[in-house]
Amino acid sequence: MSEVSQGGRQPTIREVAAHAGVSPMTVSRTLAGGVNVRPDVQQRVLAAVRELGYHRNENARSLRPGQASGLIGVAITNLGNPYYGNFALGVEEVAAEYGRRIVLGNTGEDPARERQLIADFIGRQVEGLVLVPSGGASDHLQPERLGDIPIVLASRRVYGLDVDAVLLDDVGGAYRGTRALLDAGHTRIGFLGNVRSVFTGQRRYEGFARALAERGIEPDPDLVQREQQDVESARDAMRRLLDLDDAPTAVFSSNNRNTVGALKEIGRRLKAGADVSELPAIVSFDNFELAELMPVPVAVIDHDARQLGREAARLLLSRLGGVDRRGPARLVEMPVTLAPSSTD
């Protein structure tokens, strides 16, 4: 049995420090993530924590005036999408460097779930929020509703909400990807996107339409499919595009889920005997694993989801203290790169 269960007395942080031969501050720092503590010292502290059965009571700390919960609330739209797994990883890494942990929730693109999740996070006294917004009304995100809790939006903005945001260069990336297809001689280019209310979908469509307009091409409504949120519906949309009498010779896909759906439809047609030369080339906003092994050429508009997560966390942490705490809202736009599929 451990010391904890013998009589119920908890060892104090001073006892742990004495056991490890360090200061109580070093014990605190180690348990808060180990920033500025040498690895060998951390090991010694953790050994003492284990030997004495010490449990830091985070929640008790959070209730002392001036002490914080050490939690960052992170609400994303789809953790099953590898893009958002990497995004959450980036937020977690930077939060951990600063002794914070993330409380993670999945909204499934449902504004009602987002609303409830944010209320729940606030109830748990998170120190800050990172949100990939699902779109829709934003009253629950307004600063006067969140009180002192800072929020950073990622990937998407919310109209009428003036808070920190980390975005991708959606318009520029979509513009360059579409122009590459035009330069290769394509004039009938399909568009696969997600629902119109989603901020990134609008921005990427804007870049697509701008590139066409420069060449005097009006987007053909038959070629624009903008309601797909998952792989299945994207596959159906691709099927409709390829079934047109005058099918597109290339397709611009505005996100990972649409790209996977489009490629699944291509795979089905190849299996049914289609000639690969009859199938469209694809430009995909969002990279995906093994893009270089696809049967049709896939160029990707690439960016680093983990880096986006890290940047969102950095913006948020800068709001938790110091001079940045009450500065004006900041917008960071992360670069994207257009790359043909390659094996490297």
261-300: contacts with its own copies (CB under 8 A): 263-264, 266-268, 271, 288-290, 292-295
**Which alpha helices (H) appear in 184-284, and where do they start and end?**
199-214, 231-243, 256-271
Output DSSP code: residue 76.
E
Q: Which is nearer to its own copies, 112 or 329 (CB)?
A: 112
Footprint of its own copies on 18-47 (CB under 8 A): 30-31, 33-34, 42-43, 46
- Closest distance of CB 84 from its own copies, Å: 7
Torsion of the alpha carbons at 166, 172, 175 and 181, rounded to the nearest 10: -90
Q: Judged by CB under 8 A, which of 1, 246, 275, 322 binds its own copies? A: 1
Over the window 184 to 223, marking each residue x when it contacts its own copies by CB under 8 A and - when it does not, the resulting string is ----------------------------------------
How far apart are the C-alpha atoms of 184 and 33, rounded to whole Å?
51
Footprint of its own copies on 123-162 (CB under 8 A): 123-125, 139-140, 144-145, 147
Q: Which is nearer to its own copies, 168 or 282 (CB)?
A: 282
Q: Which amino acid is at 344?
A: D
Residues 6+ apart with CB under 8 A from 273: none
How far apart are the C-alpha atoms of 96 and 290, rounded to whole Å?
31
How far apart are the C-alpha atoms of 25 and 254, rounded to whole Å?
50
Cα first-last separation, the chain: 54
Q: How many of the chain's residues bind its own copies (CB under 8 A)?
A: 75
How far apart are the C-alpha atoms of 298 and 166, rounded to whole Å?
27
Q: Which is nearer to its own copies, 203 or 319 (CB)?
A: 319
Q: Which is nearer to its own copies, 26 or 178 (CB)?
A: 26
Q: With CB under 8 A as the contact rule, which of the stretches 117-125, 165-173, 278-286, 319-327 interacts with its own copies? A: 117-125
How far apart are the C-alpha atoms of 333 and 15, rounded to whole Å?
48
- Closest distance of CB 331 from its own copies, Å: 25
Residues 6+ apart with CB under 8 A from 122: 73, 146, 147, 149
Footprint of its own copies on 54-113 (CB under 8 A): 55-60, 62-63, 69-71, 79-82, 84-86, 88-89, 92-93, 96, 101-106, 112
- Closest distance of CB 210 from its own copies, Å: 30
